[in-house]
């Protein structure tokens, strides 16, 4: 496939990527251009005034635009980048890898390495000693715990980059500088998006800046998102944290907290950080384990000072094996449960599917039909899938029908992500992951009321067939603001002729809230279980009605989600913000719902 240079430069990079929030702050745009600087306060690239005319840079073929990992993704896709980097089709759902193992720094190596050094520092230290690496581009931190890119030119310099930083710096921007300094075996340590940026500038067939030959090792970190420094400072201030006194920041992945350690330890719930401070581009990233790195390192699947290591290339294995031989690193197999966590990430594989059909119910509601045999076979009513629009968003969605291998996904247009999805046409491609979450549990009930509100009606439609197959007595009540929003009423009436329909404006069915209909059905029928999905304020009222009659309910909740498998903490709820909607739910019982202080307050709008 022939890849052309794009005749675009700084102006287009600024308008298409930076101003739209797609910039991942990797630094690739400034790797070989002295005009590109980086605003550490705003965390974006800027230019020094030399780029006002598009033809000032190589006849308009701007390096900054062409090397950005977020430009021209239609032509330079992740699949193509994968072929460039690994030279073959991707054959494993975790990406290419040779070995997955748990590792830590040996006790004997502590005589040479700081106590807080982890496997990344140890691997770089060993590679420098062997002469496999002569410099490493990594991330240091200043006196206010702000990250900055740095070139470690010797083993002692490596120690300045030790430790987790919740935000990031433009690491790739120093690649040109390292090459200009004469280094010929450069290592780069970065997040998955930074490694992706590195690989694009190394492999772009229309540019040759020696980075392919002179950057010889890429170490990537597991990542579920980084946070904006400025907003972090505001949150730190809210929690009484002075950035200049921070000694260490850790992820408490079991309790989904960010632990800030200074003279005392303070904890910030990760769901709060994701809601307030996550970098916008992070929610459109599908790479959690640095798929393009030689070696990927992360906490998932390992505990304490042990880290999970994914060795992806022969070069990565050579560096890793050498560190073992020198006694710097020791290893052990992943425990069974920890291996399952890694498998959870592999189940997050995104399948690219074509939209086969679109049905418009109203200007704000559409159903999209895609084909996916794997999800169709595994799906159970109550599960959800996650749609991926590259560089836009992840969208957790229930299925409204499964027929053969065809999935029907009904979507309400709210926000940028769903607005972009509504622009898609038949034949366009989207990503899909799943199925995720638990399913409805109705085995012990006999008389079951199924109730949905608004687009939540879509999520309950897949319930009816299994309930009828299990010979349950099924009652249905659905409600929406008007007739156009009362989706699948005909379908439900075909299945359950006595389905009660309500609209706020009385345009169809009874003019009332669906919760009024719920009360009527409860008063006339011997209901022993209610299954509900809809706006939380509606479901909160259903819970109150059911509690008064001593009836159990199950409700399907929704939150902003990142990983989908209970690892990142973005969707957590509960008194301690440690219950994952994506993994522990999305279906929750009456007893659980009563312990969630947030229940009834969430709104997508």
Residues 155-170, mean pLDDT to the nearest whole number: 94
User: Each residue of 233-285: pLDDT tens digit?
Assistant: 999 999 999 999 999 999 888 888 999 998 899 999 999 999 999 998 887 78
User: Each residue of 325-336: pLDDT tens digit?
Assistant: 999 999 999 887
Band of pLDDT at residue 562, cut at 50, 70 and 90: confident
55 pLDDT above the threshold of 90: no
Q: Distance (Å, rounded) from C-alpha 290 to C-alpha 190?
A: 9
Neighbours of 208 (CB within 10 A): 9
The per-residue pLDDT for 160 is 95
Q: Characterise 163 by phi-psi region: left (phi > 0), alpha (psi -120 to 50), beta (else).
A: left
Determine what percent of the chain is predicted with pLDDT higher than 70: 95
Residues paired with residue 102 on neighbouring β-strands, in sequence order? 308, 332
Rounded to 5°, angle at Cα 192 from 58 and 232: 100
Q: Distance (Å, rounded) from C-alpha 362 to C-alpha 75?
A: 34
The per-residue pLDDT for 563 is 83
The per-residue pLDDT for 91 is 46
Determine what percent of the chain is predicted with pLDDT higher than 90: 72
389 pLDDT above the threshold of 90: no
User: DSSP 3-state helix, strand, coil percentages of the chain (rounded to 5)?
Assistant: 35, 25, 40
Q: Could you tell me the pTM of the whole model? A: 0.89
The per-residue pLDDT for 1 is 52
Q: CA distances (Å), 84 to each of 70, 78, 307, 402, in order? A: 17, 10, 28, 37
Q: DSSP states of 466-529 as a string?
A: HHHHTT-EEEEEEEESSGGG-TTHHHHHHHSTT-EEEESS-SSSEES-HHHHHHHHHHHS---E
Could you tell me which residue, 149 or 415, shows the higher pLDDT?
A: 149
> What contacts 376, CB < 8 A, 6 or more positions away?
402, 404, 405, 406, 407
Could you tell me which residue, 413 or 86, shows the higher pLDDT?
A: 413
Query: What is the DSSP-derived secondary structure letter of residue 67?
Result: H
The per-residue pLDDT for 553 is 97
Q: Distance (Å, rounded) from C-alpha 147 to C-alpha 141?
A: 4
Residues 373-400, mean pLDDT to the nearest whole number: 90
The per-residue pLDDT for 52 is 64
Provide the Cα torsion 18, 24, 27, 28; round to 10°: -90
**Any idea which of 54-63, 356-365, 538-547, 577-586 has the lowest mean pLDDT?**
54-63
HSE (side-chain half, CA atoms, 13 Å) at 300: 24
Band of pLDDT at residue 89, cut at 50, 70 and 90: low
**Any idea which of 199-213, 371-385, 547-561 has the lowest mean pLDDT?**
199-213
The number of angstroms, rounded, from the C-alpha of 587 to the middle of its chain's C-alpha atoms is: 21
Residues 276-295, mean pLDDT to the nearest whole number: 88
The number of angstroms, rounded, from the C-alpha of 36 to the middle of its chain's C-alpha atoms is: 29
Domains of the chain: 227-278 (3.10.450), 351-436 (2.40.30.10), 447-593 (3.40.50.80)
Band of pLDDT at residue 344, cut at 50, 70 and 90: low
Residue among 361, 369, 300, 372 nearest 335 (CA): 300
The per-residue pLDDT for 347 is 46
The residue written with tokens 């003279």 in the block is 263
Residue among 510, 499, 506 nearest 482 (CA): 506
The per-residue pLDDT for 534 is 95
533 pLDDT above the threshold of 70: yes
The per-residue pLDDT for 280 is 87
Q: Distance (Å, rounded) from C-alpha 27 to C-alpha 64?
A: 9
**Any idea which of 94-103, 197-206, 312-321, 411-420 has the lowest mean pLDDT?**
94-103
498 pLDDT above the threshold of 90: yes
The residue written with tokens 């690239």 in the block is 45
User: Each residue of 166-205: pLDDT tens digit?
Assistant: 999 999 999 999 999 999 999 999 999 999 999 999 988 7
Q: Distance (Å, rounded) from C-alpha 509 to C-alpha 489?
A: 10
Residues 111-129, mean pLDDT to the nearest whole number: 95
Q: With helix as H, strand as E and coil as C, how does 243-263 read?
A: HHHCCEEEEECCCCEEEEECC
Give 280: exposed, middle or buried? Use CB within 10 Å, 0-12, 13-18, 19+: middle
Residues paired with residue 311 on neighbouring β-strands, in sequence order? 99, 295
First-to-last C-alpha distance (Å) of the chain: 43
Kindly tell me the sign of the dihedral angle through the C-alpha atoms of 322, 326, 330, 331.
positive
**Residue 429 main-chain phi, psi, to 5 deg:** -110, 145
Residues 587-603, mean pLDDT to the nearest whole number: 92
Give 503: exposed, middle or buried? Use CB within 10 Å, 0-12, 13-18, 19+: buried
The residue written with tokens 């020094």 in the block is 48
Instruction: Work out the mean pLDDT of the chain and round it to a whole number.
Output: 90
456 pLDDT above the threshold of 50: yes
58 pLDDT above the threshold of 90: no
Band of pLDDT at residue 108, cut at 50, 70 and 90: very high
The per-residue pLDDT for 54 is 52
């Amino acid at each position: 496939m022939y890849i052309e240079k794009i005749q675009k430069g700084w102006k287009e990079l600024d308008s298409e990527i930076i101003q739209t929030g797609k910039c991942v702050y990797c630094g690739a745009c400034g790797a070989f251009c002295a005009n590109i600087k980086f605003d550490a306060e705003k965390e974006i690239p800027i230019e020094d005034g030399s780029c006002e005319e598009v033809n000032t840079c190589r006849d308009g073929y701007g390096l900054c635009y062409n090397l950005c990992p977020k430009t021209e993704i239609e032509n330079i896709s992740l699949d193509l980048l994968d072929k460039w980097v690994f030279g073959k089709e991707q054959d494993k759902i975790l990406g290419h890898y040779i070995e997955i193992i748990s590792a830590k720094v040996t006790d004997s190596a502590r005589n040479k390495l700081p106590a807080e050094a982890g496997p990344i520092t140890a691997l770089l230290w060993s590679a420098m000693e062997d002469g496999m690496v002569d410099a490493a581009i990594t991330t240091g931190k200043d006196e206010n715990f702000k990250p900055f890119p740095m070139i470690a030119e010797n083993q002692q310099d490596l120690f300045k980059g030790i430790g987790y930083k919740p935000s990031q710096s433009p690491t790739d921007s120093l690649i040109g500088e390292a090459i200009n300094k004469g280094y010929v075996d450069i290592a780069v340590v970065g997040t998955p998006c930074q490694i992706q940026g590195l690989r694009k500038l190394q492999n772009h067939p229309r540019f040759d800046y020696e980075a392919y030959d002179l950057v010889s090792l890429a170490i990537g970190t597991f990542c579920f998102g980084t946070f904006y420094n400025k907003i972090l400072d505001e949150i730190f201030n809210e929690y009484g944290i002075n950035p200049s006194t921070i000694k260490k920041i850790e992820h408490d992945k079991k309790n989904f907290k960010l632990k800030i350690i200074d003279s005392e330890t303070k904890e910030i719930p990760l769901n709060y950080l994701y809601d307030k401070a996550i970098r916008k581009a992070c929610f459109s990233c599908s790479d959690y384990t640095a798929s393009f790195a030689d070696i990927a390192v992360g906490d998932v699947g390992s505990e304490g000072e042990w880290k999970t290591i994914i060795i992806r290339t022969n070069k990565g294995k050579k560096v890793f094996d050498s560190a073992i031989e020198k006694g710097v690193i020791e290893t052990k197999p992943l425990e069974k449960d920890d291996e399952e966590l890694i498998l959870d990430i592999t189940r997050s594989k995104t399948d690219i599917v074509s939209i086969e059909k679109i049905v418009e119910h109203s200007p704000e509601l559409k159903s999209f039909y895609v084909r996916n045999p794997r999800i169709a076979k595994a799906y159970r009513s109550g599960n959800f899938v996650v749609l991926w629009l590259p560089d836009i968003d992840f969208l957790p969605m229930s299925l409204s029908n499964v027929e053969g291998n065809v999935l029907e996904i009904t979507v309400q247009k709210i926000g940028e992500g769903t607005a972009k999805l509504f622009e898609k046409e038949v034949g366009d491609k989207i990503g899909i992951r799943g199925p995720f979450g638990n399913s409805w549990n109705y085995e012990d009930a006999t008389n079951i009321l199924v109730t949905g509100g608004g687009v939540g009606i879509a999520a309950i439609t897949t319930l009816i067939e299994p309930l009828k197959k299990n010979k349950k007595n099924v009652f249905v009540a659905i409600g929406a603001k008007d007739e156009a929003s009362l989706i699948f009423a005909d379908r439900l009436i075909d299945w359950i002729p006595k389905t009660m329909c309500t609209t706020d404006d009385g345009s169809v069915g009874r003019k009332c809230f669906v919760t009024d209909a719920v009360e009527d059905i409860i008063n006339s029928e011997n209901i022993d279980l209610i299954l509900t999905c809809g706006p939380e304020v509606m479901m909160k009222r259903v819970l109150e009605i059911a509690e008064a009659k001593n009836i159990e309910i199950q409700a399907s909740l929704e939150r902003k989600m990142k990983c989908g498998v209970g690892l990142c903490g973005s969707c957590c709820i509960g008194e301690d913000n440690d219950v994952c909607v994506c993994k522990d739910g999305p279906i929750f019982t009456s007893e659980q719902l009563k312990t969630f202080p947030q229940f009834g307050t969430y709104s997508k709008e």
